[in-house]
Amino acid sequence: MLQVNWCKNCLAMSTRPRITFDSRGYCNACVWQEKKSSLDWDKRHEELQSLLARHRKSDGNFDCLVPMSGGKDGSYVAYNLKHKYGMNPLCVTVTPALPLPLGDKNLRNFLESGYNHISINPDHEAMRQLNKTGFIKMGFPYFGWLTAIMTAPIKTAIAFGIDLIFYGEDGEVEYGGSTETASKPIYDIEYQKRIYLEGGYEKVLSASKLDSRSTNFFEYPASGERNSDKIEISHWSYFENWDPYRNYLVAKEHCGLQEAESSNAGTFTNFSQNDQALYALHAYLMYLKFGFGRANQDACIEVRRGAMKREQAVNLVNLYDGQYPQEFITSYLDYYQMDLSEFDQVLDVYANKEIFEKIDGRWKPKFTIQ
Residues 6+ positions from 333 with CB-CB distance below 8 Å: 339, 340, 343
Contact 133, 143 (CB under 8 A): yes
Contact 194, 172 (CB under 8 A): no
Q: How confident is the model at residue 25 (pLDDT cuts 50, 70, 90)?
A: very high
* Residue 17 within any structural domain of the chain: no
One-letter amino acid at 6 equals W
C-alpha 71/C-alpha 351 separation (Å) is: 30
Whether residues 70 and 143 share a domain: the answer is yes
C-alpha 92/C-alpha 98 separation (Å) is: 18
pLDDT at 59 over 70: yes
Of the three residues 220, 238, 256, the one that is the final residue of a domain is 238
- Structure confidence by residue, pLDDT tens digits, 151-196: 999 999 999 999 999 999 999 999 999 999 999 999 999 999 999 9
- Structure confidence by residue, pLDDT tens digits, 231-260: 999 999 999 999 999 999 999 999 999 999
Whether residues 178 and 113 share a domain: the answer is yes
Q: How confident is the model at residue 335 (pLDDT cuts 50, 70, 90)?
A: very high
The backbone region for 337, taken as left when phi is positive above 0, alpha when psi lies in -120 to 50, beta otherwise, is left
* Residue 8 within any structural domain of the chain: no
pLDDT of residue 1: 65
Q: How confident is the model at residue 227 (pLDDT cuts 50, 70, 90)?
A: confident
Whether residues 184 and 276 share a domain: the answer is no
Q: Is the pTM of this model over 0.85?
A: yes
Whether residues 108 and 190 share a domain: the answer is yes
Whether residues 149 and 192 share a domain: the answer is yes
pLDDT of residue 303: 97
What is the domain extent for residue 132?
41-238
pLDDT at 226 over 90: no
How high is the mean pLDDT of the chain? 95
CA 16 vs. chain centroid, Å, equals 15
Whether residues 350 and 282 share a domain: the answer is yes
Domain CATH number, residue 103: 3.40.50
Whether residues 210 and 75 share a domain: the answer is yes
* Residue 19 within any structural domain of the chain: no
Whether residues 108 and 182 share a domain: the answer is yes
The number of folded domains in the chain is: 2
Q: How confident is the model at residue 22 (pLDDT cuts 50, 70, 90)?
A: very high
370 sits in which H/E element: none
Of the three residues 238, 273, 298, the one that is the final residue of a domain is 238
* Residue 256 within any structural domain of the chain: no
* Residue 12 within any structural domain of the chain: no
pLDDT of residue 222: 85
* Residue 147 within any structural domain of the chain: yes
Query: Which carries the bigger pLDDT value, residue 223 or residue 302?
Result: 302
pLDDT of residue 356: 97
pLDDT at 111 over 70: yes
pLDDT of residue 19: 96
* Residue 183 within any structural domain of the chain: yes
pLDDT at 2 over 90: no
Whether residues 219 and 201 share a domain: the answer is yes
Separation in Å, CA 110 to CA 170, 246, 254, 257: 23, 17, 8, 7
Whether residues 226 and 130 share a domain: the answer is yes
Whether residues 57 and 192 share a domain: the answer is yes
Angle of CA points 300, 243, 42, to nearest 5°: 130
DSSP state of 328: G
pLDDT at 69 over 80: yes
* Residue 4 within any structural domain of the chain: no
Residues 6+ positions from 84 with CB-CB distance below 8 Å: none
C-alpha 56/C-alpha 25 separation (Å) is: 44
Whether residues 32 and 51 share a domain: the answer is no
Backbone angles phi, psi at 186, to 5 degrees: -110, 135
Q: How is 64-79 classified by DSSP, letter by letter?
A: EEEE--SSHHHHHHHH
Of the three residues 197, 222, 238, the one that is the final residue of a domain is 238
Rounded to a whole number of angstroms, the distance between the first and last alpha carbons of the chain is 15
